[in-house]
Structure 1
Amino acid sequence: MGSYAVTGSASRIGAAVTERLRAAGHSVIEVDLCDADAVEDLGSLEGRCHKPC
């Protein structure tokens, strides 16, 4: 099976996609503003930087 990263995984479409992928046996890394494996704000430069920008 495959491995996927799903942004917006905590709600709505992202949550549904995550559920379907896991039901099909895939590994999923959840990315969202809260309640996820990776809690990140990808909408800002600071949220995308893991080193001094």
Structure 2
Amino acid sequence: MTQIRKRYDRQYKTAAAQVVIDREKTVRELSEELGIKDSTLRRWAVEYEQMGAKAF
């Protein structure tokens, strides 16, 4: 069985990363809410903090 990989656009990733950076929700809370792995969300937040508008 082949697993289909989800793709998220830049706007989605930026919004999710910003919630984490602003500490509006914990990584765990937001990852459960969005249905993505917490490691993915952490990586998005780090990338966005480091690269800003050039991320993703």
| TM-score, normalisation: structure 2 | 0.32
Q: Which has the higher contact order (CA 8 A, sep 6+)?
A: 2
- Structure ID, larger Rg: 1
- Which protein is richer in helix relative to its size? 2
Greater strand content? 1
Taking structure 1 as the reference length, what is the TM-score of the superposition?
Answer: 0.34
